[in-house]
């Protein structure tokens, strides 16, 4: 895990744009980083399934079916799908819960940092997989999560169940589709035999250019 990138992303989540934190906040970040590293426990589970793209933006796999224009576009030219779930574990939530009651300033930093960490963890995994697949002449698309664009949030349920994510990595879902541990990611990644390097990933791929958190 790249600490520098985690720190940069943490600051972005906290509303810093180009400014550097003062020494007091820099020290707080370090303190949080140390505590959080002890508390997190990253796990993931993944599964490769066959994929059919049907009419009207239909996406059909053995784990879920959905209609989504944005995901269909993302998956154009793909015939298989990697489905995965990853989590930083409940330790991060326990820390946040503790500091919410006794030191709010630390709670907000830890919550931003844990979010940055799980993203970084997923980026690392995705890079590894990309490399692995490339060797076999297959190409991975950027990851796409339920709730992005018009990919229905309801798919969360079937994804998590199909991956047995509860049993395997302790990822649970509330009735209102909130993931717990909260620092968790579920996503799908299209697999294609055609390279598609022109894809932009993450924040930059989003159409909303006036977002105050936008990375540039």
Partner 1 sequence: MGIRDELGKRIIFFDGGTGSLLQERGLKPGELPETWNILHPEIVTELHRNYLEAGSDIVLTNTFGANRLKYDGKNSWDVKDVVRAAVENARRAVEEAAKETGKRGWVALDMGPTGKLLKPMGDLAFEDACAIFGEVARAGAQAGADCILIETMSDGYEMKAAVLGAKENTDLPVFATMTFDEKGKLLTGGDAASAVALLEGLRVDALGINCGLGPVQMKAIVKTILEEASVPVIVNPNAGLPRSENGKTVYDIDADAFAREMEEMARMGAWLLGGCCGTTPDHIRKTVERCASITPLPITEKEKTVVSSWSHRVEIGDDPILVGERINPTGKKKMKQALRENDMGYILEEGVGQQEKGVHVLDVNVGLPEINEPEMMERAVTELQGVLDLPLQIDTSDMEAMERAMRIYNGKPMINSVNGKEESMNAVFPLVKKYGGVVVALALDENGIPETAQGRVEIAKKIYSRAAEYGIRKKDILIDALCLTVSSDSRGAVTALETLRRVRDELGGRTTLGVSNISFGLPQRGVINSAFFAMALQNGLSAAIINPGAEGMMNAYFSYRALAGLDPQCGDYISRYGGQAGGEKAAAPASGTEIKSLGECVEKGLKEQAVQAVKILLETEDPLEIIQREMIPALDRAGVRFEAGTLYLPQLLMCAEAAKAAFERIKDKMLSCGETQEKKGRIILATVKGDIHDIGKNIVRVLLENYSYEVLDLGKDVPPETVVETAVREKIRLVGLSALMTTTVPSMEETIRQLREKAPWVKVMVGGAVLTEEYAGTIGADCYCRDGMASVKYAENLFSEDCR
Which residues of the chain form contacts with partner 1 (CB under 8 A)?
A: 14-16, 21-22, 24-25, 28, 41, 46-49, 62-64, 89-91, 93-94, 96-98, 100-105, 107-109, 111, 153, 158, 161-162, 166-167, 169-170, 172-178, 180-182
What SS3 class is residue 131? helix
Whose Cβ is closer to partner 1: residue 27's or residue 199's? Answer: 27
| DSSP state at residue 55 | T
Q: Identify any residues that bridge with 81 across adjacent strands, giving them in sequence order.
A: 49, 190
The H-assigned helical ranges of 136-207 are 155-162, 165-169
Count of alpha carbons within 13 angstroms of residue 140, beta-carbon side:
24
Instruction: Give least dist CB 35 to partner 1, A.
Output: 13
Q: Cα–Cα distances in Å, from 173 out to 151, 162, 180?
A: 17, 13, 6
Q: How far is the CB of 54 from partner 1 (least distance, A)?
A: 19
> Least Å distance between CB 193 and partner 1?
17
Nearer to partner 1, 67 or 100 (CB): 100
Instruction: Give the position of tokens 């934190």.
Output: 21
- Candidates 51, 67, 63, 65; CA nearest to 193 is 51
Minimum Å gap between C-beta 16 and partner 1 is: 6
Nearer to partner 1, 25 or 205 (CB): 25
Judged by beta carbon, residue 75 or residue 171, the one nearer partner 1 is 171
Do 181 and 88 touch, CB atoms closer than 8 A?
A: yes
- Shortest spacing between CB 197 and partner 1, in angstroms: 26
Q: Which is nearer to partner 1, 48 or 67 (CB)?
A: 48
CB of 4 to partner 1, least distance (A): 19
- Say which residue the tokens 């579920």 belong to: 186
Looking at residue 142, the DSSP 8-state letter turns out to be P
Question: Residue 92 or residue 122: which is nearer to partner 1 going by CB?
Answer: 92
């Amino acid at each position: 895990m790249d600490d520098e990138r985690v720190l940069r992303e943490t600051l972005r989540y906290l509303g810093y744009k180009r400014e550097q934190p003062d020494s007091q906040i820099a020290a707080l970040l370090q303190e949080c980083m140390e505590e959080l590293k002890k508390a997190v426990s990253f796990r993931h589970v993944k599964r490769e399934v066959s994929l059919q793209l049907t009419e009207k933006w239909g996406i059909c796999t053995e784990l879920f079916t959905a209609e989504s224009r944005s995901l269909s576009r993302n998956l154009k030219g793909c015939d298989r799908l990697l489905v995965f779930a990853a989590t930083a574990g409940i330790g991060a939530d326990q820390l946040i819960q503790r500091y919410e009651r006794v030191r709010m300033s630390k709670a907000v930093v830890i919550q931003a940092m844990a979010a940055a960490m799980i993203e970084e963890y997923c980026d690392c995994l995705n890079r590894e997989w990309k490399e692995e697949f490339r060797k076999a002449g297959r190409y991975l698309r950027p990851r796409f999560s339920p709730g992005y664009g018009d990919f229905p949030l309801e798919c969360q349920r079937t994804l998590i169940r199909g991956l047995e994510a509860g049993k395997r990595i302790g990822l649970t879902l509330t009735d209102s589709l909130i993931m717990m541990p909260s620092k968790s990611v579920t996503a799908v990644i299209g697999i294609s035999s055609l390279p598609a390097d022109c894809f932009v990933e993450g924040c930059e791929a989003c159409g909303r250019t006036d977002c105050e958190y936008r990375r540039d």
